[in-house]
Structure 1
Amino acid sequence: MEVFAVEGLPEVRAGDDLAAMTGERVDLQPDDVVCVASTVVSKAEGRTADLADYEAGERARRIATRAAEEAGEDRDPRFAQAVIEASEELLMDRPIMLAVTRFGHVTVNAGIDRSNVPGSDLLLLPEDPAASARRLQEGLGARVVVTDTSGRPFRYGQRGVALGWAGLPAARDWRGERDREGREMEATVQAVVDELAGAANLVTGEGDGGTPVAVVRDFDFGDHAGDDDLFRTADDDLIRPAVREYYAE
């Protein structure tokens, strides 16, 4: 398997045809997987905002006040309001805002970015990353994973994760197959799109030198059943109810 970054993409702006911009710079093969950073997907889809667009409500002001007291510096309640409005639920609002996005991803600050956003204060995640991936797949003629970077419980550092995908299942389902001792596997479901996003993140980079699109070539899903469940539902999540109860006001 080969993973390489697509070089030479210009700054992406609202309305840009991201599929065409990518296709002009790489000779794609039908079985390629194109991993596209959510930042450029959001920019192309016009998902920018300014703090002035938000009027902070009571909860946002309370979050900002408490954060300022703990950090010893001013915090803008309008940012807290932006996170609230981008979220289906805030699982916790102290010491960080851990949000459930409207498409099911759980992440800090609802994934709102404040860096590399020319002309605006904020960059929101794509509204529907799965739909974004399908549009890109149609334009590119290749499999697509829309990626982001995210922290992990119990570990330092960030890694790439998938927000949306098209053209391949989210996971390899090993249940029912046999291990080396002949035992039937009962629980293993391998989150392939997350692993592809992580591989892509190794070559796309971060900061001002990052390249937002990578191609994974010669990846073989294999002769496995596919599974498309990646985001746990509230009813299927052991952690979410505990966090919700602990931080209930």
Structure 2
Amino acid sequence: MDLELVAVPDLPEIRPGDSLPTLVGDRIDLRPDDVVCVASTVVSKAEGRLADLDDFPAGPRARELAANLEAATGEEKDPRFAQAVLEESTDVLIESPFLLTETRFGHVTVNAGIDRSNVPDADLLLLPERPSESAERIRSGVDADRVVVTDTCGRPFRHGQRGVAVGWAGLPASRDWRGECDREGRELSVTVESVVDELAAAANLVAGEGAGGTPVVVVRGFDFGDHEGSDEQFRDVERDFVRRALRGWSYARD
């Protein structure tokens, strides 16, 4: 499989109400089988997911979290930011030395994915509320059948961040190799490949970080193949060994 990755050039600073499909379509000729990978930052900006710290007056729980973080790191922490994280989360998995939370759409990430960089008009940029619905709206307006909304986050046991998918439309999240055979004829029993994460990571290599200004990347030539697909992406708590370990649960007593 030969893949081509092309960053959409010359996109302006995205403002609330901007049409991402129009901005992308004006700058690159798309094909139906392209995968359009869009950074969640510009999706959030177009959807008006900007906020100020004063929008989040801190409650007792946020003040407690901020105080604990300050004690752990020696750095001053704004309890209003902790309040924003709480309001964007359904669960706090780790409270110190950072906040690891589950977002309202199931993504586990630091600080509920709230961004404070490249936000010229506000203090905070929140993740899209329902990224897969955002991907579907973008898909309906571009000349391509597949859209992935991307973000970057860290990984357990490894340094650095990588691109991941937080929303997608027009393709399954994963392709299932179980029941197929390797070259030796052995049947695969556990291999489920998260293709949307792999596409997001590939796009991130081209989009870059920081001041790159290329938040939309087109992946050309990706073939899902003749495999079963699934939209399962985020582990539920009953099957998440790490989360259960953090909570002190034991599979032995289930």
Deviation per CA, 1:24-81, whole angstroms, max 9, x where unpaired?
1000000000000000000000001100011111111111112222322321000000
Separation (CA, whole Å) in 2 of partners of 1:234 and 1:72:
32
Gaps of 5+ in 1: none
For residues 21 and 64 of structure 1, the distance between their equivalents in structure 2, rounded to whole angstroms, comes to: 40
State the shift of 1:170 in Å: 0.7
Give 4+ residue runs of structure 1 displaced > 4 Å after superposition. none
| Distance in 2, Cα, partners of 1:168 & 1:68 | 43
Q: Does 1:7 align with 2:9?
A: yes
Question: Structure 1: how far apart are the matches of 2:204 and 2:85?
Answer: 25
C-alpha distance in structure 2 between counterparts of 1:56 and 1:195, whole Å: 38
- TM-score, scaled relative to structure 1: 0.97
Q: Does 1:161 align with 2:132?
A: no
The 5 A counterparts of 1:169-248 are 169-245=172-248
User: Identity, % of aligned pairs?
Assistant: 66
Secondary structure of 1:133's aligned partner: helix
Kept in 1: contact 2:149–2:166 (CA 8 A): yes
Secondary structure of the residue aligned to 2:76 is: coil
Counterpart residue type for residue 149 of structure 1: T
Is 2:96 the counterpart of 1:94? yes
Give structure 2 stretches of 5+ with no counterpart.
250-254
Equivalent-residue separation in structure 1 for 2:72 and 2:242 (angstroms)? 25
- For 1:150, which of 144, 148, 153 is the aligned residue? 153
Conserved in 2, the CA contact under 8 Å of 1:92 and 1:244? no
Root-mean-square deviation (CA, aligned residues, Å) is 1.0
Deviation at 1:245, TM superposition (A): 3.4
For the 8 Å contact 2:207–2:215, the answer to whether it is kept is yes
Q: Hey, what's the Cα distance between the residues in 1 that align with 2:74 and 2:163?
A: 31
Q: Is the 8 A contact 1:137 1:166 kept in 2?
A: yes
Q: Does 1:52 align with 2:26?
A: no
TM-score by structure 2 length?
0.95
In structure 1, the residue matched to 2:41 is 39
- CA shift, 1:165, in A, is 0.4
Give the superposition deviation at 1:205.
Answer: 0.9
**For 2:12 and 2:213, how far apart are their aligned partners in 1?**
12
Q: Give the corresponding residue for 2:18.
A: 16
CA distance, structure 2, for counterparts of residue 170 and residue 128 of structure 1: 15
Name which of structure 1's ranges 195-204 and 220-229 shifts more when overlaid on structure 2.
Answer: 220-229
Q: Which amino acid aligns with 2:107?
A: H
Alignment partner, residue 107 of structure 1 = 109
- Separation in structure 2 between the aligned mates of residue 20 and residue 243 of structure 1, nearest angstrom: 45
